[in-house]
A and B are shown apart, each in its own frame.
Chain A
Amino acid sequence: MADDLDAQIRAAQAARKKEKSADKASLVGQVSFDTDLYGEKGAAKFEGYSTSLPMNDDEEDAATFGSQTKKLSSYTAPKQILEEMASMDDGVDPMADIRPSRKISDRESEYHARRLNRQLSPERVDAFSDQAASTSARSYAEVMREAELDREHADLQRKLQEKQKEDEARRKEMEQSGDLQAQAQAQAKAAVEKAKAAAAAAASGAPKKRRWDQAGEGEKKSEWEEDDSISSAGKSSKWDETPKADAVPPRKRNRWDETPVDAVSSAWDATPKASDGGVTPGGGKRSRWDETPVGVNQYAATPIGNLGLMTPVGGSGVPMTPEAVNAMRWEKEIDYRNRYLPDEELDTMFPTEGYKILEPPVTYVPIRTPARKLMATPTPMAGQGAGFMMQEEDRNQSYDVPPEIPGVGGLQFFKPEDMQHFGKLLDEKDELELSVEELKERKIMRLLLKIKNGTPPMRKTALRQITDKARDFGAGPLFNQILPLLMSPTLEDQERHLLVKVIDRILYKLDDLVRPYVHKILVVIEPLLIDEDYYARVEGREIISNLSKAAGLATMIATMRPDIDHVDEYVRNTTARAFSVVASALGIPSLLPFLKAVCRSKKSWQARHTGIKIVQQIAILLGCAVLPHLKSLVDAIAHGLEDEQQKVRTITALAIAALAEAAAPYGIESFDIVLRPLWAGIKKHRGKGLAAFLKAIGYIIPLMDAEYANYYTKEVMIILIREFQSPDEEMKKIVLKVVKQCSATDGVEPQYIKEEILPEFFKHFWVRRMALDRRNYKQLVETTVELAQRVGVAEIVSKIVEDLKDESEPYRKMVMETIDKVVSQLGTADIDNRLEVTLIDGVLYSFQEQTVEDVVMLNGFGTVVNSLGLRVKPYLQQICSTILWRLNNKSAKVRQQAADLISRIAIVMKTCGEEKLMGQLGVVLYEYLGEEYPEVLGSILRGLKSIVNVIGMGNMTPPIKDLLPRLTPILKNRHEKVQENCIDLVGRIADRGAEFVSAREWMRICFELLDMLKAHKKGIRRATVNTFGYIAKAIGPQDVLATLLNNLKVQERQNRVCTTVAIAIVAETCSPFTVLPALMNEYRVPELNVQNGVLKSLSFLFEYIGEMGKDYIYAVTPLLEDALMDRDLVHRQTACTTVKHMALGVLGLGCEDALLHLLNHVWPNIFETSPHVINAVMEAVDGLRVALGPATLTHYVLQGLFHPARRVREIYWKIYNNLYISAQDAMVAYYPRIENDVRNIYERYELDLVV
């Protein structure tokens, strides 16, 4: 075989030599490619391809459209329709319905939206400043008074409501005593009244502040009030029940719908209904039409002046809601596209001959349904006098082109909503007439607009300007513009991010000037703390943390104090979170006295509640950093466990749970004072309160010593077991969690768990219903695994193994997952024969019976089989027949799973000595290589790979020489999974069994592999590069290298980079001397990419071969010399990288002469300014410093440290600093002597001592 191979290689080489033409330097030009695959010549390779990017479709359409705007008559109707059809796709985004809106207000819940209820309060007095405060600023006392008033107001209203309710009830009672008819009448009346009230509420429109936290509202708490794990996400909110404005799926717009749209169309064309305004759209997905009900009514009922004009936006200045603006824009576009074609135009469009113009039938009446036209009759503008005006038609298609704003330049976009804030910039007033304040305002406005809507470079400069000038502008004018922007209902994520960034930057600059605006800033930033987006939360925290550092603790407390017992729960919640951030920024100790006072507040339970919540949030935010202050924090809130208010008790328990979680596993002594009230509390409480108490206990027990843990666990277990049967989902989850935590502690005996906990546990929790809720499911599995850790595998598995045959699939899945986890953690050693039989039987059954192919089943199966090892031998036959049968299944998923299973159990099959069976499987998989679904094909390849790995190349059936040619075409497959597995398999074969395949086949594979260097996945590229190495090793580097060198000519950068890596790897595997000559020869090709590729290969090469490089350094030095003197920057950059790797590789091996020579060539490049180049140069200098020692480098550096030119000094000092940092001590010996002068002594006499 080997002889045959050698002969082949020789023959191939001889043939190549013959072909060689003398006129070229490159080795590459002479490679013999498969011409059927690659065409004749490299140059002609792209013949027949378009060399530029395709620019047809849209662009061409736009172009024709543009050119035709002048002579409208030139296109025919059908063509126009066609174009409209074609352009419809850009007009209507087909994904618009699916894609979540970028607007923040569209995705936030009703609770989050309550941020809009808050107002930007007037400035506060800065108690620390010596300047007189402005008249509008309010003092702390005033704010507190206001808060008090607010509370009283709310209180009063609640009482009124209660009274009304009472009255109602009393009247009903009275009526019930009356006769039935009267009762019915009364009910009808009540219903009417209610409807009226609703209508009135709708008409009044303004969203009323809701008082959620009033007792009168019952238990309508928001989910935020509770700790995350308690709140049930799945619970249907009451908003789901609210009748919504007809929830019709938004229809796709059809522009030439002649028939009036039917009744169930979207809301904009129907007569606005009263209900539209009344319902606060909540819960479900809102269409943008019912966003702010006020706006909808505004233009539907009586359109005000300007609304009807064609250019409604341009500086009209009439405040419009963003929704109205949107509607306007839309309407305008529709109108334009659907405008009537006058007779003259029609005449020019249609052929003049062969057609006759018919009179319209007498019965024809044009449709004039005003409902179909949003603003059909524009109300005349006040200024223009009455009468109808023919509107000038705007024939330019300038739909969404951002207007040029004076002094700002071209923006990326300009939303009509921006008009509200930035309209002033467009009024084109003379700058000279404006006052200083106004000028300043405009300046800020322009900068903000640039930051918000500009291109990244504009944004960058604007951001810097606004930061630099922040103190000149002053806090007031800045925040007065930024904060309203942040409150805008149409704010998008990106805009918010940018504006928040602005605030962050100017905070640093403004420092204490910010004090009067702290509250305003908090109002807009606090909502970020409860945003669902992680990064928004982080941003919010950062701002508040900076804010508190700028404003100081006293201001922060004074500002936020009134919000602590605010009537709105939302405000209190966000304030608590903000306070926790303040604590983390300024340290817990500084906040502690305040916290203690608030937690003991006698004035209102809300203050106590918020105070305790602050502690909870501190624990969550700071984690183990609370430990030093744990005792004081617990002391501050301990009394809350016996508070008179249920809510305070609950939040206290939750806060203690959070503290214990943060402190784990330390700090039990700090919790001593709460142990008694906690354990007493679980006997007193029910429901939610009990759940919170149990949670706290669950987190405290793991902190205890073994014996205490044992004692307290027994105490709590009675309650826990009682609560096993609680129907409440929340309670279930908490109970499960606590059981897990208790049983994980050392003190609890396995015996106790077996006897006391397990029977009840399995009775109540291992039921089908638990598998249905995702969170229950997860918690139950976790707890069961934890219990198994204590009582052993057999105990748990024997209890649930029967359920593998349960009829409910989700339940089977849960059982399987538990078994999977238990077995993978604890093994199967103590599973006896009987259990083993049942287990395998159950696993097989559930695997076969699955209707939804799930990875859980696959994992479980794999884990069990792998864990049983040799014991699974008797069942292998059965398992294999199952696999074979399923491999032949119609469903792709089933086939895929079967193939995946093979790869999981291959090792066990080998252990059991079932080579024959594996051979069979191999053949079957081989036969299925024609699989059409890439996912399945990938799994099949993986299966094959695992079999090959296990039984070895020689024993493989089908033989490798049959297998590999089948794989070659699959390499062309573009699916990542297929590619990855295929390349792995091929690489494996090239590594272990290259001799089974002819060199020619390997070359063919090499060509295929080139394409895979383009793969997106790094793993694929790495595997490909490695495979090149294996192949080169198998068939000699020459052919592979030639292929690779040729590939350096391609355009694509990634491809070239990977090629250079591959060359380096080939050089590494086949020794550099086989590769270097060809590589260096290739450098003579006068082509930039090739030369750079060669240099890069050299760089990787010297990186990989390390100290082996000492034999080659003299060979490549002339080449590097040339590269370091090249005009091209990249040459020098790459050469520098090469020098770095080289120098580091040959450190201490006696190549200093060559390195010094190279240093002389590197050194002039230190003045480069391009960041990549200068980095590479600095690294090369660093590398040379390591190899040559700091003394040499010092001599170079000393030349320029005090050079007259600053540019020179700068870079020399930079190098000096690098040198100094890395060799501070060694430098002592190399500093130059400095002569003393009259004033100072510079000599270092200590170094002159001689003994």
Chain B
Amino acid sequence: MSSAAMNVNAQLEHLQSKHVGTGHADTNKFEWAVNQHRDTYASLIGHNTMLAYSAVAENESLGRKKFEMMEKMLQPCGLPVPKDD
């Protein structure tokens, strides 16, 4: 069993290195939300129509919206929550 667990862990590490947004049993709300936000911004930036939509809604230029979103990706949910353990 333990070797299987080891194997799974190794796989998980590998997965995480390839896909940043993946999680594991110890992922907390903050980490999950940060990934969600980043994915959301990435998706909005990536889909031109969505970007245009939000630009129109906020009456901003496309470039500025894009820039803002990029900036927000840095710390989308504010400072990290201190870990308990």
- In the bound complex, residues from chain A placing their C-beta under 8 Å from that of B78 are 1239-1241
The 8 Å CB contact of A1213, one of B25, B30, B44, is B25
Please state if B77 and A1240 are interface contacts (CB–CB under 8 Å): yes
Does B25 contact A460, Cβ atoms closer than 8 Å? Answer: no
- Contacting B at CB under 8 A, from A680-724, are none
Please determine whether A1213 and B39 come into contact, CB atoms closer than 8 angstroms: no
A791 to B3, alpha carbons, bound, how many Å? 64
Known: A1242-B77, A1249-B53. A1216 touches B23 (CB 8 A): yes
Contact with B along A1200-1219 (1 / 0, CB 8 A): 01100010011001001100
| Given known A1209-B25, A1220-B22, A1221-B19, contact A1228–B43 (CB-CB < 8 A) | yes
A511 to B33, CA, bound (A): 38
Partner of A1225, one of B43, B54, B76, B77: B43
Task: Tell me the minimal C-beta distance from B51 to chain A in angstroms.
Answer: 10
- CA separation between A25 and B57, bound complex, in Å? 68
Instruction: Tell me which of A1209, A1210, A1217, A1250 contacts B22 (CB under 8 A).
Output: A1217
Cβ-defined contact, A1224 with B3, below 8 A: no
Question: How far is A460 from B2 in the complex, measured between Cα atoms in Å?
Answer: 12
Closest to B57 in A: A1249
B53 adjacent to A1251 (CB under 8 Å): yes
* Proximity string of chain B (3-31) to chain A, C-beta cutoff 8 Å, 1 when within and 0 when not: 10000000000010001011111010110
Q: Does A1234 count as interface, using CB distance less than 8 angstroms?
A: yes
Q: A-B pairs with the 4 shortest C-beta distances?
A: A1249-B57, A1209-B25, A1217-B22, A1228-B43
Closest Cβ–Cβ distance, residue B43 to chain A (whole Å): 4
The reply to whether A1246 and B54 contact each other, CB–CB distance below 8 Å, is yes
| B57 and A1239 contact, CB distance less than 8 A | no
Asked whether B57 lies within 8 Å of A1251 as measured between CB atoms, the reply is yes
Q: How many residues of A contact B (CB 8 A)?
A: 28
Q: Which of B19, B24, B58, B77 has the most CB of A within 10 A?
A: B77
Is the CB–CB distance between A1240 and B81 below 8 Å? Answer: yes
In the complex the two chains form, is B15's CB within 8 Å of A1217's CB?
yes
Q: Report whether B15 and A1240 are in contact in the complex, using a CB–CB cutoff of 8 Å.
A: no
Instruction: For the complex, give the distance between the alpha carbons of A1239 and B80 in Å.
Output: 9
Interface members, chain B 34-60 (any A CB < 8 Å): 36-37, 39-41, 43-44, 46, 53-54, 56-58
Q: Which of A1202, A1210, A1244 contacts B36 (CB 8 A)?
A: A1244
Q: Is the CB of A1246 within 8 A of B40?
A: yes
Is A382 an interface residue when CB atoms closer than 8 A count as contact?
no
Closest to B32 in A: A1201
For B82, the closest partner residue in chain A by CB is A1239
The answer to whether the Cβ of B74 comes within 8 Å of any Cβ in the partner chain is no
Q: Mind listing 10 A-B residue pairs with CB under 8 Å? A: A1216-B22, A1224-B39, A1228-B36, A1228-B40, A1239-B78, A1240-B77, A1240-B79, A1240-B81, A1244-B36, A1247-B40
Residue of A with least CB distance to B5: A1210
Contact among B22, B29, B40 for A1202, CB-based, below 8 A: B29
CA distance A1224 to B23 in the complex (A): 13
Contacts of A1224 in B (CB 8 A): 19, 21, 39
Q: Name the residue of chain A whose CB is nearest to the CB of B44.
A: A1246
Give min CB distance, A1251 to chain B, whole Å: 5
Taking CB atoms, residues of chain B closer than 8 Å to A1228 are: 36, 39-40, 43
A1224-B47 Cα distance, complex, nearest whole Å: 14
Please measure, in the bound complex, the distance between the C-alpha atom of A1231 and the C-alpha atom of B21, giving whole angstroms.
Answer: 13
Q: Which residues of B contact A1251 (CB under 8 A)?
A: 53, 56-57
CA distance A981 to B31 in the complex (A): 63
Q: Is there contact, CB below 8 Å, between B25 and A1244?
A: no
In the complex, chain A residues whose CB is within 8 Å of the CB of B40: 1228, 1231, 1244, 1246-1247
The answer to the question of A1003 belonging to the interface, with a C-beta cut-off of 8 Å to chain B, is no
- Please measure, in the bound complex, the distance between the C-alpha atom of A1206 and the C-alpha atom of B15, giving whole angstroms: 19
Contact with A along B51-77 (1 / 0, CB 8 A): 001101110000000000100000011
Q: Is the CB of A1240 within 8 A of B33?
A: yes
B23→A1249 contact, CB < 8 A: no
Say how far B81's CB is from chain A's closest CB, in angstroms.
7
Q: Given contacts A1220-B21, A1239-B81, list 15 more A-B pairs with CB under 8 A.
A: A1213-B23, A1213-B25, A1213-B27, A1217-B22, A1221-B15, A1221-B22, A1224-B21, A1228-B36, A1228-B43, A1234-B36, A1239-B79, A1240-B30, A1240-B77, A1244-B40, A1246-B69
**Nearest CB in chain B: distance from A455 CB, A:** 16
Who on chain B is nearest to A1231 by CB? B36
- Across-interface contacts of A1217 in B (CB, < 8 A): 15, 19, 22-23
A1227 at the binding interface (Cβ < 8 Å): yes
In the complex, chain B residues whose CB is within 8 Å of the CB of A501: none
Say how far B41's CB is from chain A's closest CB, in angstroms: 7
Query: In the complex, what residues of B have CB within 8 A of residue A1220's CB?
Result: 19, 21-23
Interface residues of A in 731-760 (CB under 8 A from B): none
**Could you tell me the distance in whole angstroms from the C-beta of B62 to the nearest C-beta in chain A?**
14
CA distance A36 to B39 in the complex (A): 71
Contact B58 A1249 (CB under 8 A): yes
Which residue on A lies nearest to B33, using beta carbons? A1242
Alpha-carbon distance A110/B36, docked complex (angstroms): 66
Min distance, Cβ B35 to any Cβ of chain A, angstroms? 9
Q: Cβ of B15: which chain A residues have Cβ within 8 Å of it?
A: 1217, 1221
What is the CB-to-nearest-CB distance from B28 to chain A, in angstroms, rounded to a whole number? Answer: 9
Complex: chain A residue closest to B28, CB-CB: A1202
**Does A464 sit at the interface, judged by CB under 8 A?**
yes
CB neighbours of B53 from chain A (8 A): 1249, 1251
Residues on A with beta carbons closer than 8 Å to the beta carbon of B79: 1239-1240
| Shortest Cβ distance from A1219 into B: residue | B22
Closest to B30 in A: A1240
Residues in B whose Cβ lies below 8 Å from that of A1249: 53-54, 57-58
Shortest Cβ gap from A1003 to chain B (Å): 49
Cα distance A974–B52 in the bound complex, in angstroms: 72
Q: List residues of chain A with CB within 8 A of the CB of B36.
A: 1228, 1231, 1234, 1244
User: Hey, what's the 0/1 contact readout for A457-479 against B, CB within 8 Å counting as 1?
Assistant: 00010001000000000000000
- CB closest residue in chain B, given A1216: B23
B46 close to A1241 (CB less than 8 A): no
Whether A1225 pairs with B46 at a CB distance below 8 angstroms is: yes
Identity of the chain B residue whose Cβ is nearest the Cβ of A1249 in the assembled complex: B57
Q: Are B41 and A1246 in contact (CB under 8 A)?
A: yes
A1227→B39 contact, CB < 8 A: yes
Give B49 Cβ to nearest chain A Cβ, in Å.
12
Does the CB pair B58–A1234 fall under 8 Å? no
Alpha-carbon gap, A1231 to B30, bound state (A):
14
A1209 proximity list for chain B (CB < 8 A): 25
Cα–Cα distance between A1251 and B50 once the two chains are bound (Å):
12
- A1201: B residues at CB distance < 8 A: 23, 27, 32
Residues in A with CB closer than 8 Å to B30 are: 1240
Among A383-415, those with CB < 8 Å from B are: none
Inter-chain CA distance A781–B24, complex, in Å, is 62
Residues of B within 8 A of A1250 (CB): 57
On whether the beta carbons of A1213 and B24 are closer than 8 Å, the reply is: yes
Minimum CB distance partner of B37 in chain A = A1244
Tell me, in angstroms, the Cα distance from A1206 to B81 when the chains sit together. 21
A777 to B22, CA, bound (A): 60
Knowing A1242-B77, A1247-B40 touch, does A1206 contact B25 (C-beta < 8 A)?
yes
* Complex Cα gap A1225–B22 (Å): 13
Q: Chain A residues near B29 (CB, 8 Å)?
A: 1202, 1234, 1242
Which residues on the A side are within 8 Å of B58 (C-beta)?
1249
CA distance A629 to B78 in the complex (A): 48
Collect the chain B residues with CB atoms within 8 Å of residue A1241's CB: 76-78
**A1211 CB, min distance to chain B CBs, angstroms:** 9
**Cα distance A1241–B41 in the bound complex, in angstroms:** 15
User: In A307-342, which residues have CB < 8 Å from any B CB?
Assistant: none
The residue in chain B whose Cβ has the minimal distance to the Cβ of A1227 is B39
Contacts of B32 in A (CB 8 A): 1201
> Which residues on B sit within 8 Å (CB–CB) of A460?
3
Query: In the bound complex, what is the Cα–Cα distance between A460 and B19 (angstroms)?
Result: 31
Distance of A1225 Cα from B69 Cα, bound (Å): 16
- Rounded to whole angstroms, the CA-CA distance of A199 and B76 in the bound complex is 88
Task: Tell me, rounded to whole Å, the shortest Cβ–Cβ distance linking B33 to chain A.
Answer: 5
